[in-house]
A and B are shown apart, each in its own frame.
Chain A
Amino acid sequence: MVKEIERAGIPVVHMCTVVPISLTIGANRIIPAVGIPYPLGDPNLGEEKSKKIRRSLVERALKALQTEVTDQTVFEN
């Protein structure tokens, strides 16, 4: 799905838990997420901290969308 969105001309960022899979399928802008059962946040740390993590991950995703890339890029921070 990531590739088809990109092919349609829309910049897309993939927030995913297993980065090697994302690289294999051909996503260009990749954000490593927290964990498989909770990609955007960490409920074990309580709701407030979990939401903060989510916000910072989404901010990173938006930064990736505003960054020129020529090849597959994993935005670690």
Chain B
Amino acid sequence: MDKIRVVHYINQFFANIGGEEKADIEPEVREGIVGPGLALQSGLGDNYEVVATVICGDTYFGGHIEEAKKTILNMIKPYKPDLFVAGPAFNAGRYGVACGTIAKAVEDELQIPVITGMYPENPGVDMFKKDLYIIETKISAADMRKAMPKVCKLAKKMINKEEILSPAEEGYIERGIRVNYFNERRGSERAVDLLLDKVAGRPYTTEYPMPVFDRVPPNPAIKDLSKIKLAVVTSGGIVPQGNPDRIESSSATKYGIYDITGLDSLNKDKFMTVHGGYDRAYVLENPNLVVPLDVLREMEKEGVIGELANYFVTTTGTGTSVGNAKAFGEEFSKKLVEDGVGAVILTST
């Protein structure tokens, strides 16, 4: 029997090419397995063969999504895969977006089973969980040993057209698909039991979870910008030289508020970035690329904006949990309101 042909997608880091300084590399394809492809091959077993690995830098992919998608699809097609595996990407945001984008493109174009893996807070999850099977992983690549076998197990079921069970049983992230089944106990009994558990304060699980949409409606437009105080907030990790508050370079647990009174520009002698999720070379040379103080000061002088707040708010966005980011936002927004800030520019790298 011919082996089942598998193509694997990974980023520059897992291909051992390099970290952020190599994140801008363009897509390339190599014959056979690379990096975590070894675990993929051994998990899938002898009936499968990882025939090729596509590698692309996360920054390149994030900056050229449509182009990269097209190039990578064309690299994959000649290998005639029966199965496509991307990642897993754990909590790497751009990698997760790349894995999801390319997996969905392969599914749509080649109509073969595709699978990937991510940490639930990876932005790629919300973007693609309805379209794809995404195995739930832990936060970092230390989980590879446990994550890859789950990927392989579900991938084999997909290939063999076996029934895919619930997210909890298979270890994938809930896709919002409802499946009918027969329960031995009728609905009224189960409902009463649930109610009794709830009343008694015992743990209970709803049979009909509602999707959570946390959307905030847009505020009205600003009428007269020349009377408004504007503040800059960033997730790009800009801090004063020496990082006095020791904001983490990833998975931040704090944010900083730094004074810019009297400054016309963010000078590289006074400010730097500690962000661990992009190549910092350009921004270390000119921090205005993230906090555009130079042009905002000009616009303040020209009267385009009423006033620039005498500080900016900053943290590191990479790997930072949604919970922390939300808490930061809640807290500093109070200060912004108290200080009469009427508009915010938030920059992200």
Q: Residues of A with Cβ closer than 8 Å to B?
A: 1-18, 20-22, 24-29, 33, 35-41, 43, 47, 50-51, 54-55, 57-58, 61-62, 65-71
* 30 A–B pairs (Cβ distance < 8 Å), ordered by A: A1-B315, A3-B329, A4-B333, A5-B233, A5-B346, A7-B216, A8-B333, A8-B337, A11-B220, A12-B346, A13-B345, A16-B347, A18-B97, A24-B123, A27-B346, A33-B347, A35-B63, A36-B23, A36-B349, A37-B280, A39-B348, A50-B289, A54-B294, A55-B295, A58-B296, A58-B345, A62-B225, A62-B304, A62-B305, A66-B223
Q: Known: A8-B337, A12-B343, A54-B289. Contact between A36 and B225, CB under 8 A? A: no
A24 → B minimal CB distance (Å): 5
B222 / chain A contacts, CB cutoff of 8 Å: 11, 65-66
A63 → B minimal CB distance (Å): 9
CA–CA, A61 to B221, complex, Å?
Answer: 12
Asked if A6 contacts B280 (CB within 8 A), the reply is no
Asked if A11 contacts B126 (CB within 8 A), the reply is no
Known: A4-B333, A17-B63. 18 other contacts (CB 8 A): A1-B315, A1-B325, A2-B329, A3-B214, A5-B333, A7-B333, A8-B337, A11-B219, A17-B62, A17-B349, A20-B97, A21-B348, A26-B216, A37-B59, A37-B279, A39-B289, A39-B290, A43-B282
CA–CA, A12 to B231, complex, Å?
Answer: 10
A8 / chain B contacts, CB cutoff of 8 Å: 330, 333-334, 336-337
Asked if B65 contacts A15 (CB within 8 A), the reply is no
Asked if B344 contacts A4 (CB within 8 A), the reply is no
Q: Does B250 contact A (CB under 8 A)?
A: no
Q: Which of B222, B295, B330 has the most CB of A within 10 A?
A: B295
Asked if B123 contacts A40 (CB within 8 A), the reply is no
Asked if B289 contacts A68 (CB within 8 A), the reply is no
CA–CA, A15 to B126, complex, Å?
Answer: 20
Q: Does B341 contact A (CB under 8 A)?
A: yes
